[in-house]
């Protein structure tokens, strides 16, 4: 019978498993996000650099091209930790811009439209809601950060062989762990800020500004107090220290790796507390 001819009936059919229901949110978010051509174009552009890197890896492992042309193979061409740190920096920056574009439209519209009571009057918890919203960014940013990193690592292993793998296996751990930590930080920051600022434009500016503000404040603290601990509120320096540590590269960020991890955990906890305070079906006016 045609839908418009039917009358209302109750539902007694099968239900989806409760544990996978948070995935409904990313699906609908992507449907809305990819209506924007600019965003789709930007996402495609995020793959250009890894593609270039793939070509570079092939070239470095096939230097016979140079000798066949009668040119001596340049010695600086090598694939090591520094190469992967550069890749992580570049893709990390792209992830940061993508977060500023997508992040504000995740929670702010739900709050602005007072939609939370409608979500939470269903068998759907606040935790599932936050996980659903965070996973929108987590999935998308994974595709442009650690997934290409892992594929490039596999390509390098396939080209360079087992010796290279036995000497550089820690790079794989660094790419996955470092980028996942970065994604987690970006996702939590953006959903927490978009939960506190209902206006999308302001939320976007805040996501972009929080890194600059942190770096500025860190510089002021360091110069006034003549210390390096100010770097603990500089988010980009925190992540750079973590990545460098994972890739076994010496850096002079003024932070020890454990201090960087401590700051990272503190920022994540603050974001979760912000979300806990704001993501409620009804706000209690005291």
Partner 1 sequence: MSTTPDAVIQLDNLSVTLGSRLILNQLQVELKGRTIGLLGPNGAGKSTLINTLLGFYAPSCGTARVFGYDVNKDTRHVRSLIGYMPENDSFIADMNAVTFIRMMGELSGLPPETALERAHECLFYVGLGEARYRKLGTYSLGMKQLAKLAQAIVHGPKLVILDEPTNGLDPPARRRMLKMIREMRDNAGMRIVLCSHLLRDVEDTCEEVIILKGGSIVHYADLEAERRANKRFVELETVGDDEGFAAAMESLGATCAMAGKGRWKMVLPAEFSFRDLFKVASEKDLELRRLNYRKDTLEDIFLKAMNQ
Closer to partner 1 by Cβ: residue 67 or 114? 114
Closer to partner 1 by Cβ: residue 99 or 105? 105
- Min CB(1)–partner 1 separation in Å: 10
Site residues (vs partner 1, CB under 8 A) = 3-4, 6-16, 18, 21, 24, 28, 31-32, 109-110, 113-125, 280-282, 284-286
Closer to partner 1 by Cβ: residue 10 or 64? 10
- Min CB(130)–partner 1 separation in Å: 14
Whole-angstrom Cα distance, residue 16 to residue 32? 23
Closer to partner 1 by Cβ: residue 9 or 252? 9
- Min CB(122)–partner 1 separation in Å: 5
- Min CB(178)–partner 1 separation in Å: 34
């Amino acid at each position: 019978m045609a839908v418009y001819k039917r009358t209302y009936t109750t539902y007694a059919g099968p239900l989806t498993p409760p544990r996978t229901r948070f995935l409904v949110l990313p699906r609908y978010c992507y449907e809305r996000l990819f209506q924007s051509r600019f965003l789709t174009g930007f996402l495609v552009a995020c793959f250009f650099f890894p593609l270039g890197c793939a070509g570079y890896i092939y070239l470095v492992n096939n230097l016979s091209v140079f000798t066949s042309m009668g040119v001596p193979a340049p010695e600086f061409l090598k694939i090591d930790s520094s190469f992967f740190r550069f890749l992580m920096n570049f893709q990390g920056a792209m992830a940061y811009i993508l977060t500023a574009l997508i992040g504000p439209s995740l929670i702010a519209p739900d709050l602005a439209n007072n939609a939370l009571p409608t979500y939470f009057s269903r068998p759907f918890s606040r935790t599932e809601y936050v996980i659903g919203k965070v996973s929108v960014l987590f999935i998308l940013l994974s595709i442009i950060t650690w997934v290409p990193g892992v594929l490039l690592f596999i390509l390098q292993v396939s080209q360079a062989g087992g010796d290279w793998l036995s000497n550089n296996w820690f790079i794989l751990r660094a790419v996955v762990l470092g980028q996942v930590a970065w994604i987690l930080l970006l996702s939590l920051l953006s959903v927490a800020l978009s939960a506190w600022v209902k206006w999308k434009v302001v939320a976007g500016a805040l996501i972009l500004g929080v890194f600059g503000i942190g770096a500025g404040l860190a510089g002021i603290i360091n110069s006034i107090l003549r210390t390096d601990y100010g770097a603990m509120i500089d988010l980009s320096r925190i992540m750079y220290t973590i990545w460098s540590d994972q890739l076994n590269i010496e850096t002079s960020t003024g932070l020890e790796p454990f201090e960087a991890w401590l700051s990272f955990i503190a920022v994540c906890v603050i974001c979760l507390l912000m979300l806990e305070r704001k993501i409620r079906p009804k706000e209690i006016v005291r």
